[in-house]
């Protein structure tokens, strides 16, 4: 499957549900395109940011963005985002690609699984305890910085279950929230040079018309059912990354053991 087709399909999901940008793109770039983890995350940040930039005006025009909750979420998420990006960069510099893949897989699986947890809705929580929103958004920022996923899935779950907003307003607020995080993450990764321009161009060629189509269909297709499908596919992708990371760590451990044995015995093994 080419990046252009991948970009189109992922963008339709983002336009319809507000989630799927990082949850789908990172696994696809790691498992299909074969990009290094840091480069896959950096490229996804730019791609997801452009998709949300296209989608945001649709929700802003419908007045489906809660400005106060949006600001409170950013207050906690932005510091977390910076920490997540720095952690990713530190592991990438140590050539710990298998470990990064494993951690990204675990984070993706856990964040996507939240969609299947029985709802314990407290609609008045955010209105009465708004000062807690930055603290709840902080781990979302950390995950987003490390894996580029989480802003959509976790942000939507948080607002849907613990605020008085309608589902449409939740999606709109989360789309704009994710847009700001993506813009900051893009700036950091662009500075670090961890973006694959050729892959990004193909993703955008398919993604821009895809997100416009998704936003246009958002009023006609029940987004909640689609979110369940998106979450299920994301869990499968996350588990595949976990398996790839564990296998990579096992191979690396075997190589390190072999090298250590060679140094001790002085025998060069073929």
Rounded mean pLDDT of 244-268? 60
pLDDT at residue 268, as a whole number: 46
Contact 236/78 with Cβ under 8 angstroms? no
pLDDT at residue 79, as a whole number: 93
pLDDT at residue 193, as a whole number: 73
Contact 72/130 with Cβ under 8 angstroms? yes
pTM for this predicted structure = 0.75
pLDDT at residue 99, as a whole number: 79
The count of domains in the chain is 1
In a domain, 270, yes or no: no
In a domain, 130, yes or no: yes
In a domain, 220, yes or no: yes
Identify the residue with better confidence: 239 or 86.
86
Lowest mean pLDDT among 8-12, 82-86, 101-105, 109-113: 109-113
CA dist 30 and 39 (Å) reads 9
Range of the domain at 223: 3-265
Identify the residue with better confidence: 66 or 267.
66
Residues 6+ apart with CB under 8 A from 211: 11, 12, 14, 15, 51, 54, 55
Q: Take residue 122 and report the two structure tokens written for it.
A: 């407290």
Confidence tier at 1 by pLDDT (50, 70, 90): low
- Please compute Rg for the chain using Cα positions: 19
In a domain, 241, yes or no: yes
In a domain, 94, yes or no: yes
**140-178 tens-digit pLDDT:** 888 888 877 666 667 777 777 778 877 778 878 888 888
Lowest mean pLDDT among 1-15, 114-128, 235-249: 114-128
Q: Of 29-33, 247-251, 266-270, which one has max mean pLDDT?
A: 29-33
In a domain, 97, yes or no: yes
Instruction: Tell me which residue has tokens 């690396």.
Output: 252
CA dist 218 and 221 (Å) reads 6
């Amino acid at each position: 499957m080419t990046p252009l087709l991948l970009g189109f399909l992922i963008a339709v999901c983002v336009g319809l549900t507000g989630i799927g940008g990082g949850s789908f793109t990172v696994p696809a770039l790691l498992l299909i395109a074969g990009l290094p983890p840091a480069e896959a995350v950096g490229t996804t940040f730019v791609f997801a940011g452009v998709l949300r930039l296209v989608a945001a005006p649709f929700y802003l025009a419908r007045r489906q963005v809660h400005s106060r909750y949006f600001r409170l979420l950013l207050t906690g998420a932005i510091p977390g985002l910076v920490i997540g990006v720095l952690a990713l960069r530190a592991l990438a510099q140590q050539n710990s690609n298998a470990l990064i893949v494993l951690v990204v897989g675990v984070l993706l699986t856990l964040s996507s699984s939240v969609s299947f947890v029985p709802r314990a809705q407290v609609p008045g929580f955010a209105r009465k305890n708004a000062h807690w929103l930055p603290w709840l958004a902080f781990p979302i920022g950390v995950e987003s910085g490390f894996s580029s996923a989480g802003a959509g899935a976790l942000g939507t779950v948080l607002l849907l279950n613990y605020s008085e907003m309608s589902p449409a307003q939740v999606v709109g607020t989360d789309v704009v929230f994710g847009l700001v995080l993506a813009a900051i993450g893009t700036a950091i990764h662009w500075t670090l040079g961890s973006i694959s321009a050729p892959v990004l161009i193909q993703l955008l060629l398919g993604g821009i018309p895809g997100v416009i189509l998704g936003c246009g269909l958002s009023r006609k297709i029940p987004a909640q059912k689609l979110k369940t499908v998106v979450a299920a596919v994301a869990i499968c992708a996350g588990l595949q990354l976990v398996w790839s990371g564990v296998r990579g760590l096992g191979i690396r451990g075997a190589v390190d053991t072999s090298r250590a044995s060679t140094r001790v015995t002085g025998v060069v093994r073929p």
